[in-house]
Structure 1
Amino acid sequence: MDHRQLATDVLRSVGGKENINKVTHCVTRLRFELKNNKIPNAEEIKKMDGVLTVIQQGGQYQVVIGNQVVPVFNELSSLLGDLGESNSSDDVQGEKKNLFDRFTSMISGVFMPIMGALAASGIIKGLLACLSAFGVLTATDGTYIVLNAIGDTLFYFFPVFLGASAAKYFGLNQYIGMVIGGSMVYPSLLSFVGSEQQLTFLSLPMNIMNYTSSVFPAIVAVWFASLLNRVIEKRIAQGFRYFLAPFIVLLITVPLTLFIIGPVISYLSNGLADITTAIYNFNPVLAGLVLGGPWILIVMFGLHWAFIPIFINNMATIGYDSVMGLLAANQFAMAGAALAFGLRAKDKQMRTLGISTGGTTLLGVSEPALYGCYFHRKNR
């Protein structure tokens, strides 16, 4: 596959740079936010070498590439220049999206930049759990301690990472987002969690909570800071804006987060975890049919990003997520079907396709198998 040529052809077919508000990518897809979604020629794009399919969903024009999406995106970025960096999702002009489309776009935009590190951290923690279960390592071993630090850092300081990623998405300076997230897990503040001593700010009592590993509070706090920053920058002279705007934003956002935003969103997050657990406990079989059954369709349309923060939130608040177990059955079934397709295929290229996509599906990336093995051969 010629990555440069494919990026050039896709760019031309979606209407060129002038029709693009923003472009990002996930594990397998180029995700365009276009000014006019009627311009692209979907059939032309589908026929390109290296393109699996095209999906228009969630307010985005999605070109499914598969495992080669990163080099294609890099080539596309070089053709677009600084387009993707200069536009935040709220500033660009284009077709109006409904609330759900905006939410899924936001979630994918915030989580995708850290997804690689998140997956790596999860693998390390899973490996440590296996080594511990089989007695190879104990919690007091130096090797265990070092590996656990590597695997646990992102989860412990999640608000910092999310603060940076959310700031980039909402058009705020990333370092301001990191400060907001970092202040939520600052050791001196965490020492007041569960303490009999009351922390006050301007003589007002604060309800300090433990935001380590939390998901939604940092995102909402940075979103608020981005809105506040826009208002402030319009009212400050250019010469003072560079240092005065961040000063005011942090001085207002961080205390407000500790007073209101953090506690409110934390209570809502706990409620969301309770709801998903209650659905599962009501009838696991019914939950499997309702959630696990159509999951392949949800992934196909790129709407699975709406569920990612729920899964992570459940892991952070209650330590596990029952729904992911239901979806794992779906994932293993898809992997088995792809591997079976590869083992039975007579054509060498199809055999390689089935076995390789079956392997990536086992690792959690199902789109290559979905579009490479299943849909194009659903009647065979």
Structure 2
Amino acid sequence: MKQDVKKLLENVDRVSLTVDVWTAENGTGLLGINAHWVDDKWVYRKRVLAIREIVSKHDEENMAAIVLQALEEFCLRPKVYAGITDNATSNKRMLALMARKIKIVNPNFSARRHVPCVTHIVNIVVQAAIKSFGIPSAQVVEPDEGDVMRTTDHYDNDQDNELGDMFLASDDHDGALRPLSLGDAVAKVRKLVHGIRSPMQQREHYAKACEDDPEVEDSNMVILDCPTRWSSTYALLAVVVKKRDVIDEVSKAFGRKGMATKMLKDEWELVKEFYRILSHFVVSIDHVCKIVMPAICDTLYLIDGLKEHMEEVVQQIKDGKFFTSVRRLHETDRSNMAQACKAMH
């Protein structure tokens, strides 16, 4: 197969590379190298060149050595046109080092030919936005704690949590209002989902509640999000928003612990609106990832669409039209929310 790939690449004038590293818990890693090109019939082609283990430090020197060795095996050093990676500093340095080492045989390749991964950039933006909204990391939820936790560094830091307690709400219109936080609302959702997934009795109760609700089309188990993929938070919110009544029904069976995770009506509205914000990012990324022949124009379309979406959200917040279902949202609250959305913009 390797010889077939070499023969296929013999008449190719130039190729671009995508390079990525996966790191295991024990510190070892795998480095994957793909080649991409357009053939003489203007057909987009790609092949996996190598998947190599990184047994030493994951720095630019060791990674560059592995990539250069693979290029040498496939006679591609003079043909490299561009390199696509995520935005890790080690990747940028790796490509710069590669450019210096193959300068004699390939003077046109330079560090300026580094193309950052647009989906990774969007991931960074949304992760930063999730943090700015005061939403704790997915990995901090534990099933045996009594109250909703605030155990992440950024969530406990007052300077980083300006949006944490900016809403006021109560299920009782005449009752005392207490601070309402999007971070607390999402943490409650996670805790409820964790409780539903853990004991078999709760799982059965959940399945029965889904069957009894005519608006719920399935009884699939609710999922938990993970800290490494922001889209998993969107997937979590998508399910619980759809099954809000079921979640509320099952939470009543939690007993005394259920009081600590009971979702207020305004908290549900906050979760719903935040889900709406994230949905545009998910749809845009899915659109680009499903394109068989991705191009720069697709990336520009994605960025322009997200920019327009966030501008609209910011303006709606300024005009008081966003989060309108949440009671007593003050002007200062709208201003703070607008600042967080501007960061996403």
Q: TM-score range by the shorter chain?
A: under 0.3
- Between Structure 1 and Structure 2, whose CA radius of gyration is higher? 2
Question: TM-score, with normalisation over the residues of structure 1?
Answer: 0.21
TM-score (normalised: structure 2) = 0.23
Higher helix share: 1
Whose strand fraction is larger, Structure 1's or Structure 2's? Answer: 2
